[in-house]
Amino acid sequence: MLIRRPDDIAPSEITASDVYRRRREFVQAAGMLALGAAAGAFAGRSQAQQGVKFAGIAKSAFSTSEKPNTFKDIAGYNNFYEFGTDKDDPAAYAGRLRTRPWTVVVEGEVHKPRTFAIEELLKFPLEERIYRLRCVEAWSMVIPWIGFEFNRIARLVEPTSRAKFVEFHTAVQPETMPGVRLPVLEWPYVEGLRIDEAMHPLTILSVGLYDQVLPNQCGAPIRLVVPWKYGFKSGKSIVRIRFVEKQPRIAWEKAAPHEYGFYSNVNPNVDHPRWSQRREKRLPAFFANRETVIFNGYGEQVAKLYAGMDLKKFY
Ligand SMILES: Nc1nc2c(c(=O)[nH]1)N[C@H]1C(S)=C(S)[C@@H](COP(=O)(O)O)O[C@H]1N2
Ligand SMILES: [Mo]
Protein backbone atom coordinates (compact mmCIF):
# COMPACT_ATOMS: atom_id res chain seq x y z
CA MET A 1 0.00 0.00 0.00
CA LEU A 2 2.30 2.64 -1.27
CA ILE A 3 1.04 6.08 -0.48
CA ARG A 4 0.59 6.70 -4.17
CA ARG A 5 0.89 4.00 -6.73
CA PRO A 6 2.64 4.61 -10.03
CA ASP A 7 -0.58 4.06 -12.02
CA ASP A 8 -2.43 6.95 -10.41
CA ILE A 9 0.38 9.46 -10.28
CA ALA A 10 0.51 11.77 -13.30
CA PRO A 11 3.60 11.22 -15.46
CA SER A 12 4.44 14.88 -14.87
CA GLU A 13 4.81 14.15 -11.16
CA ILE A 14 6.85 11.03 -11.27
CA THR A 15 8.77 9.33 -14.01
CA ALA A 16 9.55 5.71 -14.57
CA SER A 17 13.14 6.50 -13.78
CA ASP A 18 12.14 7.74 -10.29
CA VAL A 19 10.47 4.43 -9.60
CA TYR A 20 13.45 2.63 -11.02
CA ARG A 21 15.85 4.71 -8.94
CA ARG A 22 13.97 4.05 -5.68
CA ARG A 23 13.88 0.37 -6.41
CA ARG A 24 17.60 0.46 -7.18
CA GLU A 25 18.34 2.34 -3.92
CA PHE A 26 16.51 -0.36 -2.04
CA VAL A 27 18.29 -3.17 -3.83
CA GLN A 28 21.63 -1.46 -3.14
CA ALA A 29 20.80 -1.09 0.56
CA ALA A 30 19.80 -4.75 0.65
CA GLY A 31 22.97 -5.76 -1.16
CA MET A 32 25.14 -3.88 1.29
CA LEU A 33 23.43 -5.67 4.16
CA ALA A 34 23.93 -9.03 2.47
CA LEU A 35 27.68 -8.42 2.36
CA GLY A 36 27.65 -7.46 6.03
CA ALA A 37 25.65 -10.53 6.91
CA ALA A 38 27.98 -12.83 5.01
CA ALA A 39 30.96 -11.27 6.79
CA GLY A 40 29.45 -11.57 10.25
CA ALA A 41 28.28 -14.68 12.02
CA PHE A 42 24.86 -13.31 12.86
CA ALA A 43 23.21 -14.45 9.63
CA GLY A 44 23.42 -18.08 10.65
CA ARG A 45 22.31 -17.36 14.17
CA SER A 46 19.33 -15.30 13.03
CA GLN A 47 18.05 -18.23 11.03
CA ALA A 48 18.41 -20.78 13.81
CA GLN A 49 14.75 -20.49 14.78
CA GLN A 50 13.28 -20.75 11.30
CA GLY A 51 11.37 -23.97 10.72
CA VAL A 52 11.32 -25.04 14.39
CA LYS A 53 8.14 -27.09 14.95
CA PHE A 54 5.38 -26.98 17.53
CA ALA A 55 3.52 -30.11 18.63
CA GLY A 56 0.23 -30.78 20.41
CA ILE A 57 -1.27 -27.36 19.70
CA ALA A 58 -4.92 -27.07 20.81
CA LYS A 59 -7.57 -26.15 18.22
CA SER A 60 -9.69 -23.09 18.87
CA ALA A 61 -13.45 -22.74 18.53
CA PHE A 62 -12.77 -19.27 17.07
CA SER A 63 -11.26 -20.77 13.91
CA THR A 64 -12.96 -20.44 10.54
CA SER A 65 -13.73 -23.66 8.69
CA GLU A 66 -12.58 -22.04 5.43
CA LYS A 67 -9.64 -23.74 3.78
CA PRO A 68 -6.33 -22.15 4.78
CA ASN A 69 -3.98 -20.82 2.15
CA THR A 70 -0.84 -22.85 1.56
CA PHE A 71 2.29 -22.17 3.60
CA LYS A 72 3.88 -21.03 0.35
CA ASP A 73 1.18 -18.41 -0.28
CA ILE A 74 1.31 -17.16 3.31
CA ALA A 75 5.10 -16.95 3.53
CA GLY A 76 5.69 -15.82 -0.05
CA TYR A 77 3.37 -12.83 -0.48
CA ASN A 78 3.87 -10.35 2.35
CA ASN A 79 3.75 -6.75 3.43
CA PHE A 80 6.69 -5.96 5.72
CA TYR A 81 8.02 -2.63 4.51
CA GLU A 82 11.09 -2.81 6.74
CA PHE A 83 12.28 -5.38 4.17
CA GLY A 84 11.05 -3.60 1.04
CA THR A 85 7.77 -2.69 -0.62
CA ASP A 86 7.42 -5.53 -3.13
CA LYS A 87 5.36 -8.55 -2.08
CA ASP A 88 8.33 -10.86 -2.48
CA ASP A 89 10.89 -8.63 -0.72
CA PRO A 90 10.11 -9.89 2.82
CA ALA A 91 10.59 -13.54 1.81
CA ALA A 92 13.84 -12.58 0.06
CA TYR A 93 15.36 -10.42 2.80
CA ALA A 94 13.77 -11.15 6.19
CA GLY A 95 15.94 -14.23 6.72
CA ARG A 96 18.45 -11.86 8.30
CA LEU A 97 16.11 -10.55 10.98
CA ARG A 98 17.68 -11.32 14.37
CA THR A 99 14.96 -12.98 16.43
CA ARG A 100 17.16 -13.95 19.43
CA PRO A 101 17.67 -12.57 22.00
CA TRP A 102 14.19 -11.00 21.88
CA THR A 103 12.24 -9.22 24.58
CA VAL A 104 8.87 -7.50 24.66
CA VAL A 105 8.65 -4.54 27.03
CA VAL A 106 5.16 -3.93 28.44
CA GLU A 107 4.85 -0.52 30.07
CA GLY A 108 2.90 2.72 30.42
CA GLU A 109 -0.40 2.88 32.27
CA VAL A 110 0.02 -0.44 34.09
CA HIS A 111 0.50 -1.34 37.74
CA LYS A 112 3.08 -4.04 37.01
CA PRO A 113 5.29 -3.12 34.04
CA ARG A 114 7.26 -6.09 32.85
CA THR A 115 9.72 -7.23 30.22
CA PHE A 116 9.00 -10.65 28.76
CA ALA A 117 11.68 -12.76 27.15
CA ILE A 118 10.35 -14.48 24.03
CA GLU A 119 11.01 -17.81 25.75
CA GLU A 120 8.46 -16.89 28.45
CA LEU A 121 5.87 -15.89 25.88
CA LEU A 122 6.28 -19.20 24.06
CA LYS A 123 5.24 -20.93 27.30
CA PHE A 124 1.80 -19.29 27.29
CA PRO A 125 -0.93 -21.83 26.39
CA LEU A 126 -0.82 -21.75 22.60
CA GLU A 127 -3.70 -22.51 20.28
CA GLU A 128 -4.33 -22.69 16.59
CA ARG A 129 -6.53 -19.86 15.30
CA ILE A 130 -7.49 -20.06 11.65
CA TYR A 131 -8.44 -16.51 10.67
CA ARG A 132 -9.20 -14.59 7.52
CA LEU A 133 -6.73 -11.74 6.88
CA ARG A 134 -8.01 -8.88 4.70
CA CYS A 135 -5.45 -6.32 3.55
CA VAL A 136 -6.59 -2.76 2.85
CA GLU A 137 -5.19 -3.32 -0.66
CA ALA A 138 -8.13 -5.69 -1.29
CA TRP A 139 -6.45 -9.08 -1.19
CA SER A 140 -7.13 -11.69 1.46
CA MET A 141 -5.93 -15.04 2.77
CA VAL A 142 -6.91 -17.64 5.36
CA ILE A 143 -4.08 -18.21 7.83
CA PRO A 144 -3.70 -20.91 10.50
CA TRP A 145 -1.94 -18.89 13.21
CA ILE A 146 -0.53 -20.30 16.44
CA GLY A 147 -0.74 -17.90 19.35
CA PHE A 148 -2.49 -16.71 22.49
CA GLU A 149 -4.98 -14.00 23.37
CA PHE A 150 -3.43 -10.59 24.00
CA ASN A 151 -5.61 -10.16 27.10
CA ARG A 152 -3.41 -12.74 28.89
CA ILE A 153 -0.55 -10.26 28.89
CA ALA A 154 -2.82 -7.41 29.90
CA ARG A 155 -4.07 -9.36 32.91
CA LEU A 156 -0.48 -9.91 34.11
CA VAL A 157 0.53 -6.24 33.92
CA GLU A 158 -2.77 -4.86 35.28
CA PRO A 159 -3.67 -1.74 33.28
CA THR A 160 -4.55 1.34 35.33
CA SER A 161 -7.90 3.11 34.97
CA ARG A 162 -6.16 5.66 32.72
CA ALA A 163 -5.25 3.02 30.11
CA LYS A 164 -7.61 3.72 27.19
CA PHE A 165 -5.47 2.58 24.24
CA VAL A 166 -2.63 0.17 23.57
CA GLU A 167 0.34 0.93 21.30
CA PHE A 168 2.30 -1.81 19.57
CA HIS A 169 5.84 -0.86 18.56
CA THR A 170 7.63 -3.07 16.09
CA ALA A 171 11.35 -3.76 15.74
CA VAL A 172 13.85 -1.51 13.96
CA GLN A 173 17.08 -3.33 13.05
CA PRO A 174 18.89 -1.04 10.60
CA GLU A 175 21.60 -3.64 10.16
CA THR A 176 19.13 -6.29 8.94
CA MET A 177 16.29 -4.18 7.50
CA PRO A 178 17.16 -2.42 4.24
CA GLY A 179 13.73 -0.71 4.19
CA VAL A 180 14.25 1.41 7.32
CA ARG A 181 16.98 3.34 5.49
CA LEU A 182 14.29 4.79 3.24
CA PRO A 183 11.64 7.25 4.41
CA VAL A 184 8.66 5.19 3.24
CA LEU A 185 7.06 5.24 6.71
CA GLU A 186 8.12 6.66 10.05
CA TRP A 187 10.03 3.92 11.85
CA PRO A 188 9.37 2.16 14.12
CA TYR A 189 6.06 1.06 12.67
CA VAL A 190 3.64 1.85 15.49
CA GLU A 191 0.11 0.48 15.55
CA GLY A 192 -2.60 0.83 18.15
CA LEU A 193 -5.96 -0.40 19.38
CA ARG A 194 -8.58 0.89 21.76
CA ILE A 195 -8.25 -1.07 24.99
CA ASP A 196 -11.53 -2.97 24.55
CA GLU A 197 -10.43 -3.99 21.05
CA ALA A 198 -7.08 -5.17 22.42
CA MET A 199 -8.76 -7.16 25.22
CA HIS A 200 -11.23 -8.82 22.83
CA PRO A 201 -10.72 -12.61 22.70
CA LEU A 202 -10.21 -12.51 18.91
CA THR A 203 -7.11 -10.30 19.29
CA ILE A 204 -4.07 -12.53 19.46
CA LEU A 205 -0.32 -12.42 19.54
CA SER A 206 0.93 -14.98 17.07
CA VAL A 207 4.19 -16.90 17.36
CA GLY A 208 3.64 -19.49 14.65
CA LEU A 209 1.73 -20.63 11.61
CA TYR A 210 0.79 -24.12 10.44
CA ASP A 211 2.99 -26.26 12.70
CA GLN A 212 6.08 -24.06 12.97
CA VAL A 213 7.50 -20.85 14.41
CA LEU A 214 6.52 -17.75 12.44
CA PRO A 215 8.63 -17.33 9.35
CA ASN A 216 10.57 -14.07 9.73
CA GLN A 217 8.70 -12.47 6.84
CA CYS A 218 5.41 -13.02 8.70
CA GLY A 219 6.58 -11.08 11.77
CA ALA A 220 8.81 -13.39 13.82
CA PRO A 221 9.15 -13.97 16.62
CA ILE A 222 5.83 -12.41 17.69
CA ARG A 223 3.22 -10.33 15.87
CA LEU A 224 -0.23 -9.01 16.49
CA VAL A 225 -3.30 -10.37 14.66
CA VAL A 226 -6.62 -8.47 14.69
CA PRO A 227 -8.79 -10.37 12.20
CA TRP A 228 -11.70 -7.89 11.83
CA LYS A 229 -9.39 -5.00 10.88
CA TYR A 230 -7.33 -4.34 7.78
CA GLY A 231 -4.05 -6.22 7.84
CA PHE A 232 -1.89 -3.19 8.59
CA LYS A 233 -3.29 -3.09 12.14
CA SER A 234 -1.48 -6.39 12.76
CA GLY A 235 2.03 -5.17 13.55
CA LYS A 236 4.91 -7.57 12.99
CA SER A 237 7.94 -8.33 15.15
CA ILE A 238 6.64 -6.57 18.27
CA VAL A 239 9.21 -5.28 20.80
CA ARG A 240 7.21 -2.86 22.94
CA ILE A 241 3.61 -2.63 24.13
CA ARG A 242 2.50 0.60 25.78
CA PHE A 243 -0.80 1.17 27.55
CA VAL A 244 -1.65 4.85 27.07
CA GLU A 245 -4.35 7.39 27.78
CA LYS A 246 -4.50 9.05 24.35
CA GLN A 247 -5.30 7.57 20.96
CA PRO A 248 -1.94 7.01 19.24
CA ARG A 249 -1.19 8.19 15.72
CA ILE A 250 -0.43 5.06 13.77
CA ALA A 251 2.18 4.60 11.05
CA TRP A 252 -0.16 4.70 8.05
CA GLU A 253 -2.21 7.56 9.46
CA LYS A 254 0.97 9.65 9.71
CA ALA A 255 2.01 8.71 6.18
CA ALA A 256 -1.38 9.37 4.52
CA PRO A 257 -3.99 10.77 6.97
CA HIS A 258 -6.68 11.12 4.29
CA GLU A 259 -6.39 7.47 3.33
CA TYR A 260 -5.92 5.53 6.55
CA GLY A 261 -7.66 5.94 9.88
CA PHE A 262 -7.08 4.62 13.38
CA TYR A 263 -9.97 2.16 13.40
CA SER A 264 -9.53 0.55 9.98
CA ASN A 265 -12.26 -1.99 10.51
CA VAL A 266 -12.86 -4.02 7.36
CA ASN A 267 -15.86 -2.33 5.77
CA PRO A 268 -17.13 -2.82 2.20
CA ASN A 269 -19.23 0.36 2.57
CA VAL A 270 -16.29 2.70 3.12
CA ASP A 271 -14.11 2.91 0.04
CA HIS A 272 -10.46 3.78 0.12
CA PRO A 273 -10.12 7.20 -1.60
CA ARG A 274 -8.37 5.48 -4.51
CA TRP A 275 -10.15 2.13 -4.78
CA SER A 276 -13.30 0.26 -3.82
CA GLN A 277 -13.40 -2.00 -0.77
CA ARG A 278 -16.55 -3.85 -2.01
CA ARG A 279 -14.64 -6.90 -3.19
CA GLU A 280 -11.41 -8.66 -2.52
CA LYS A 281 -9.02 -11.01 -4.23
CA ARG A 282 -8.73 -14.20 -2.19
CA LEU A 283 -5.23 -15.36 -3.02
CA PRO A 284 -4.14 -17.19 -5.10
CA ALA A 285 -7.08 -15.94 -7.20
CA PHE A 286 -6.25 -13.27 -9.72
CA PHE A 287 -9.51 -11.30 -9.68
CA ALA A 288 -11.18 -9.43 -6.84
CA ASN A 289 -14.48 -11.24 -7.26
CA ARG A 290 -15.22 -12.11 -3.66
CA GLU A 291 -17.61 -9.86 -1.71
CA THR A 292 -15.94 -8.26 1.29
CA VAL A 293 -17.92 -8.74 4.50
CA ILE A 294 -18.19 -6.06 7.19
CA PHE A 295 -15.72 -6.65 10.04
CA ASN A 296 -14.21 -9.32 7.77
CA GLY A 297 -17.03 -11.66 8.83
CA TYR A 298 -16.39 -11.26 12.57
CA GLY A 299 -19.29 -8.83 13.13
CA GLU A 300 -21.22 -11.17 15.37
CA GLN A 301 -18.31 -11.05 17.84
CA VAL A 302 -17.13 -7.45 17.46
CA ALA A 303 -19.93 -5.19 16.13
CA LYS A 304 -20.97 -4.37 19.70
CA LEU A 305 -17.61 -2.65 20.28
CA TYR A 306 -18.77 0.04 17.85
CA ALA A 307 -22.42 0.42 18.89
CA GLY A 308 -23.54 3.98 18.24
CA MET A 309 -20.40 4.92 16.31
CA ASP A 310 -20.64 6.23 12.76
CA LEU A 311 -18.35 3.80 10.93
CA LYS A 312 -18.03 6.19 7.98
CA LYS A 313 -16.57 8.80 10.30
CA PHE A 314 -14.48 6.48 12.46
CA TYR A 315 -12.93 4.50 9.61
N1 LIG B 1 6.21 -4.02 11.16
C2 LIG B 1 5.33 -4.15 10.15
N3 LIG B 1 4.17 -4.79 10.37
C4 LIG B 1 3.27 -4.93 9.37
C5 LIG B 1 3.51 -4.39 8.08
C6 LIG B 1 4.75 -3.71 7.88
O7 LIG B 1 5.06 -3.22 6.78
N8 LIG B 1 5.63 -3.62 8.92
N9 LIG B 1 2.57 -4.53 7.09
C10 LIG B 1 1.18 -4.76 7.52
C11 LIG B 1 0.27 -5.10 6.43
S12 LIG B 1 -0.14 -3.84 5.34
C13 LIG B 1 -0.33 -6.33 6.32
S14 LIG B 1 -1.50 -6.64 5.15
C15 LIG B 1 0.10 -7.44 7.19
C16 LIG B 1 0.54 -8.59 6.31
O17 LIG B 1 0.82 -9.73 7.06
P18 LIG B 1 1.37 -11.00 6.29
O19 LIG B 1 2.50 -10.55 5.40
O20 LIG B 1 1.82 -11.94 7.36
O21 LIG B 1 0.24 -11.55 5.47
O22 LIG B 1 1.17 -7.09 8.07
C23 LIG B 1 1.08 -5.80 8.62
N24 LIG B 1 2.11 -5.62 9.62
MO1 LIG C 1 -2.12 -4.54 4.34
pLDDT interval class at 30 (50, 70, 90): confident
Residue nearest ligand 1's atom 12 by CA: 232
Are the C-beta atoms of residues 156 and 112 closer than 8 Å to each other?
Answer: yes
Predicted local distance difference test score (pLDDT) of residue 188: 97
Ligand 1 mutation pick, 71, 79, 169, 238, max ligand atoms within 8 A of CB: 79
* pLDDT per residue as tens digits for the range 240-286: 999 999 999 999 999 999 999 999 999 999 999 999 999 999 999 99
Angle among Cα 274, 280, 283 to the nearest 5 degrees reads 125
pLDDT single digits (tens) 62-101: 999 999 999 999 999 999 999 999 999 999 999 999 999 9
Specify the pTM. Answer: 0.91
Ligand nearest to the CA of 215: 1
Among 193, 251, 223, 175, which residue's Cα sits nearest to residue 74? Answer: 223
What integer pLDDT is reported at residue 19 of this predicted model? 59
pLDDT at 21 (0 to 100): 66
Domain-wise residue ranges, the chain: 6-313
As residues whose CB is below 5 A from the ion ligand 2, the structure lists: 79, 135, 231-232
CATH topology assigned to domain 6-313: Sulfite Oxidase; Chain A, domain 2 (3.90.420)
Question: What's the 177 CA to ligand 2 centre distance in angstroms?
Answer: 19
| Ligand 1 contact, 200 CB (< 6 A) | no
Confidence band (pLDDT; 50, 70, 90) for 48?
confident
Helix ranges, 40-105 (H) = 42-46, 71-76, 89-93
